[in-house]
C-alpha cells in the first residue's frame, strides 16, 4: 500500500514538473512576440529606454495611424499596397499548390506507376533545400524571363516551395481512407471522379485544410526569396516592406512593430477559422498507412 502511494505521488510530481517545464518553455517562446505586440502600441522613446520598460506607461494606436497615413505624423510607406500584394500572392499560390497537391497526393496514395518512390523522394529532397539557397539561381533565371519584380514570379516560386510538402501531407490523409469506400461507390454506379469528389474528398477535407494553412503561412511570411525578387511597390510583400522602416542611421522600431502586428493578424484569423479542421487533419494524418 505504501509503495502504491509513493508511486502515485512520484507520477504526480513528474506530471507537475512536466507541465511546469512546458509552461516555462512556452513563456520563453512567447516573450519576444509579446514584446513586439506591446511595442506596436508605444512610442520609440519607450522602446529604446534603458533599462527596458516592460510595462508600457501608455498604449495608443498612433503607430498604426502613422503607417496608414493618418494623424499629424505620417510615414511614407504604402502599407496598403504591400498588404494587397501579400494577399494576392499568398492566396493564389496556396490555391494552386492545393490543386496540384490534392492531385499529386491522391495519385501517390492510390496509383502504382514507374519510379513512384524515386519521384516522391525527389520531391521531399527538393523541399529540404532552404529557400535562401535558391535565391541566386532563381534570381538569374527570373531576370532572363522578365519575372523579377512581378507578382507572377513570386507566385511560381511559392507554388514550387509548397507543392512537395502539400503532396506529402495530403498523401498521408488519403492513405488513411479505405480504398474500399471508393470501390463500393463505383459498384453502386459512381464514376471514378464522382467517387473521389463525393466520398474521398469530404473525408480528406480536414487534411486539405491543414495543408492549405501551412501553404498560406509559408507564402505569407516568406522573406528571403521575396526580398531578392521584388523591387517596387507593385510586387513587394509585407515582410519585405519591414525594411522600409530602416534608414542609414535610424530604425523606426515602433512603426516596424506595428507592421509586424499587421502581418500576424491575418495568420491568426485564418488559423482560428480553420482550427477545427487543422487539429483534426493533423491528428488524422499523423500515421501513414
Could you tell me which of 72, 101, 44, 112 has the C-alpha nearest to residue 255?
A: 44
CA distance 203 to 108: 17
CA distance 85 to 81: 6
* 3-class SS string, the chain: CHHHHHHHHHHHHHHHHHHHHHHHHHHHHHHHHHHHHHHCCCCHHHHCCCCCCCCCCCCCCHHHHHHCCCCCCCCCCCHHHHHHHHHHHHHHHHHHHHHHHHHHHHHHHHCCCCCHHHHHHHHHHHHHCCHHHHHHHHHHHHHHHCCCCCHHHHHHHHHHHHHHHHHHHHHHHHHHCCHHHHHHHHHCCCCHHHHHHHHHHHHCHHHHHHHHHHHHHHHHHCCHHHHHHCCCCCCCCHHHHHHHHECCCCECHHHHHHHHHHHHHHHHHHHHHCHHHHHHHHHHCCCCC
CA distance 281 to 101: 15
pLDDT digits (tens, 9 = 90+) for 111-141: 888 888 888 888 888 877 877 788 888 999 9
* CB-neighbour burial class of residue 114 (10 A; exposed 0-12, middle 13-18, buried 19+): exposed
What mean pLDDT do residues 221-226 have? 90
For residues 85 and 63, which has the higher predicted lDDT (pLDDT)?
A: 85
Regarding the domain with residue range 79-284, which homologous superfamily does it belong to in the CATH classification?
A: MetI-like (1.10.3720.10)
Q: How many residues does the chain have?
A: 289
Query: Is 50 exceeded by the pLDDT of residue 22?
Result: yes
pLDDT at residue 5, as a whole number: 61
The whole-model pTM stands at: 0.83
Residues 147/153, Cβ–Cβ less than 8 Å? yes
pLDDT at residue 255, as a whole number: 85
CA distance 78 to 69: 9
pLDDT digits (tens, 9 = 90+) for 36-53: 888 888 888 888 888 877
pLDDT digits (tens, 9 = 90+) for 201-221: 888 888 888 889 889 999 999
pLDDT at residue 65, as a whole number: 82
Whole-number average pLDDT of the chain: 84
pLDDT category of residue 287 using cuts at 50, 70 and 90: very low
CA distance 224 to 133: 9
pLDDT category of residue 6 using cuts at 50, 70 and 90: low
Give the start-to-end residue ranges of the domains of the chain: 2-62, 79-284
Instruction: State in Å, rounded, how far the first CA of the chain is from the last one.
Output: 44
pLDDT category of residue 163 using cuts at 50, 70 and 90: very high
What mean pLDDT do residues 57-62 have? 81
Tally of CB atoms within 10 A around 214: 19
What mean pLDDT do residues 225-242 have? 90
Amino acid at each position: 500500500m505504501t509503495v502504491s502511494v509513493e508511486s502515485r505521488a512520484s507520477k504526480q510530481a513528474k506530471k507537475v514538473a512536466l507541465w511546469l517545464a512546458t509552461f516555462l518553455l512556452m513563456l520563453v517562446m512567447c516573450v519576444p512576440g509579446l514584446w513586439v505586440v506591446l511595442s506596436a502600441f508605444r512610442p520609440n522613446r519607450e522602446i529604446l529606454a534603458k533599462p527596458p520598460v516592460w510595462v508600457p506607461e501608455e498604449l495608443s494606436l498612433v503607430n498604426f495611424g502613422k503607417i496608414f497615413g493618418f494623424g499629424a505624423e505620417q510615414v511614407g510607406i504604402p502599407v496598403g499596397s504591400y498588404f494587397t500584394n501579400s494577399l494576392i500572392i499568398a492566396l493564389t499560390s496556396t490555391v494552386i499548390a492545393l490543386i496540384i497537391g490534392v492531385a499529386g497526393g491522391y495519385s501517390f496514395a492510390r496509383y502504382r506507376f514507374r519510379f513512384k518512390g524515386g519521384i516522391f523522394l525527389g520531391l521531399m529532397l527538393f523541399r529540404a533545400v532552404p529557400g535562401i539557397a535558391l535565391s541566386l539561381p532563381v534570381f538569374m533565371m527570373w531576370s532572363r524571363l522578365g519575372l523579377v519584380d512581378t507578382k507572377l514570379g513570386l507566385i511560381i516560386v511559392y507554388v514550387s516551395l509548397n507543392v512537395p510538402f502539400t503532396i506529402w501531407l495530403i498523401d498521408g490523409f488519403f492513405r488513411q481512407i479505405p480504398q474500399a469506400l471508393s470501390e463500393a461507390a463505383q459498384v453502386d454506379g459512381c464514376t471514378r471522379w464522382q467517387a473521389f469528389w463525393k466520398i474521398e474528398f469530404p473525408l480528406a477535407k480536414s487534411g486539405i485544410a491543414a495543408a492549405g494553412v501551412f501553404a498560406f503561412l509559408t507564402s505569407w511570411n516568406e522573406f528571403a526569396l521575396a526580398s531578392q525578387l521584388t523591387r517596387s511597390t507593385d510586387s513587394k510583400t509585407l515582410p519585405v516592406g519591414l525594411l522600409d522602416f530602416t534608414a542609414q542611421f535610424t530604425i523606426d522600431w515602433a512603426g516596424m512593430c506595428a507592421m509586424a502586428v499587421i502581418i500576424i493578424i491575418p495568420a491568426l484569423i485564418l488559423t482560428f477559422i480553420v482550427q477545427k479542421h487543422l487539429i483534426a487533419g493533423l491528428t488524422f494524418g499523423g500515421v501513414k498507412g
